[in-house]
Structure 1
Amino acid sequence: MIGTRDNRAVELVGAVAVGLTRLFGRVEPDGLENLPLTGPAIVAVNHTTIADVPPVLSTLYRTGLRPSVPCHQDGCGTEHGHVRFIASSMVFKNPFIGPLARQAGMVEVGRQAGTVALKAAKDSLARGEVVGIYPEGDVAATADGSPRRFRFGVARLALDARAPVIPVAHHDARLIGSGSVARSLGGALTSIVRRPTVRLRVGRPVMPEEFAGLAVRDVVDLVQKRVTDVWRSLAHSESVPREETA
């Protein structure tokens, strides 16, 4: 998963995400200037439904942070960047999504592969790449969609790589579809008519000096607080018209 690939294939993932987002709704983004084009850096995103993946990936892609392996071509790291996401085994086992995840160089994580996945992600950060992670680990969302308890992986990666963590939060993604895969897909089909709006905001990075010397649990709490703060800034405010990236 970590080797070089033909980016003509792997960058298909970003284009697919843009197409799906345009089909199912629209995105109102904010704070995109906080996204890095080079690493080491960790993009930490809240997760409420499988339907939130296309809006997140499409926003990153249109901003210049492509969900693919680094191309090392002219402009790589200055005019555009690349992000390698950590994804569950369920994603890789899906007959439709799995091939795209592999082409994009995503890192598979599961009960038997957690250590291997963290090692692969750590190696990516050591090479100066950007790694994306959903710290909650699954989509068992709370009633209001607020971020749930983060797992330790994001903290271990941040501490080991001394990498900044960029908090990203979205609100209203469940309006596209939520619940089981079947229910999410059913909701997505009706969203073609409903055209829901997903608000997404990128917060100020959590810099390494902010968590230097902290225990893993404390780093998890810090990152979770920052992602939650970004989420609350969306959930507790009225939607303000912004440039659409759908």
Structure 2
Amino acid sequence: MPSEKTLSFRLLAAPVIPVIAALCRLEVQDAHHLPRTGSFVLTPNHYSDIDPVVIGWSVWRLGRVPRFLAKASLFSVPVLGWALRQIRQIPVERSGRTHGNNPLTAAHDLTAMGEGVIVYPEGTLTRDPGLWPMRGKSGAVRIALENELPIIPVAHWGTQAVLPRWSKKISLFPRKTIHIKYGPAVDLDRFRGGALSQAALLEATGLVMDAITKLLEDLRGETAPAERWNPAEHSQTEYGAL
């Protein structure tokens, strides 16, 4: 099977990796949970704009290629948009659709070739004041269930020291340590093979968010709030905006 790490991906990764490596070091736990071959859906927590770079680097170091469902607006940025298209990232509009295509179909096309997809189930930076995962959306679960894929939770802690939430100012010195922990595939067997009702999708998404939160609790050595932050119950400007 051809390597996922195509020439385009290697050429684009070459200048990025030394920069991010100068900013931070990764301490990765339980990396064996990320499949070394075959398709998967990876679901990280999200609280800094630099999160995708860090998670992408971690996945790359483990021998896989990071492909994200990414905000469509990024594809309009000169140079960056061209680069994202070259490495087949998936643009998603705020409405939840790609430019003329369904993002779930685009994700299916990638996974049909044995590749992984990284989906932030929260959809945006968490609004939780303590940086805990907030209520998730069902896209990641739907991709996993409709394509019979494992959904792998992962949590990280430390990117806020490099780039705080809603900030544009990167901290260059000293070099930061970012802790990453992969978890086993979330057991969604009882949701497979049947109709995906909204209730089933919400329940399955809750299980995924529980798994991510547990990993983050392990990294932080703290206990998350008993009730997960629900952005629908709070003002969008209460804790800032993207």
Q: Is 2:14 the partner of 1:28?
A: no
Question: Aligned partners of 1:133 and 1:11: how far apart in 2?
Answer: 22
1:117 deviation in Å? 1.0
Range with bigger deviation, 191-200 or 205-214 = 205-214
Deviations 1:109-133 (A, max 9, x none): 1134256111111232233321111
User: Do the aligned partners of 2:141 and 2:151 also contact (CA within 8 Å) in 1?
Assistant: no
3-state SS in 1 of match to 2:142: helix
Counterparts of 1:191-230 in structure 2 under 5 Å?
A: 191-209=171-189, 211-212=191-192, 215-230=200-215
3-state SS in 1 of match to 2:215: helix
Relative to its length, the structure with more helix (as a share) is 1
Change (3 A) 1:157 1:6: closer
User: Do the aligned partners of 1:47 and 1:141 also contact (CA within 8 Å) in 2?
Assistant: no
Unmatched runs of 5 consecutive residues or more in structure 2: 223-242
Question: Aligned partners of 1:86 and 1:154: how far apart in 2?
Answer: 10
3-state SS in 1 of match to 2:204: helix
1:59 deviation in Å? 1.2
Percentage of pairs with the same residue:
29
Change (3 A) 1:17 1:200: farther
Change (3 A) 1:150 1:22: same
Q: Is 2:106 the partner of 1:120?
A: yes
| Map of 1:60 onto structure 2 | 59
Unmatched runs of 5 consecutive residues or more in structure 1: 68-83, 238-246
User: Do the aligned partners of 1:17 and 1:55 also contact (CA within 8 Å) in 2?
Assistant: no
**Paired residues, what number?**
211
Question: Aligned partners of 1:6 and 1:43: how far apart in 2?
Answer: 18
User: Do the aligned partners of 2:41 and 2:149 also contact (CA within 8 Å) in 1?
Assistant: yes
TM-score, normalising length: structure 1 = 0.77
- For 1:117, the aligned partner's letter is P
User: Do the aligned partners of 1:20 and 1:54 also contact (CA within 8 Å) in 2?
Assistant: no
- For 2:173, the aligned partner's letter is V
| Structure with more contact order per residue of length (Cα contacts < 8 Å, sep ≥ 6) | 1
Q: CA RMSD in A?
A: 2.2
Change (3 A) 1:168 1:98: same
1:15 deviation in Å? 3.4
| Map of 1:10 onto structure 2 | 9
| Map of 1:145 onto structure 2 | 131
Q: Is 2:85 the partner of 1:102?
A: yes
3-state SS in 2 of match to 1:29: strand
TM-score, normalising length: structure 2 = 0.79
Deviations 1:160-208 (A, max 9, x none): 112110101101211111233xx33x2x2xx221212111111111244
- For 2:85, the aligned partner's letter is R
Change (3 A) 1:129 1:207: farther
- For 1:129, the aligned partner's letter is E
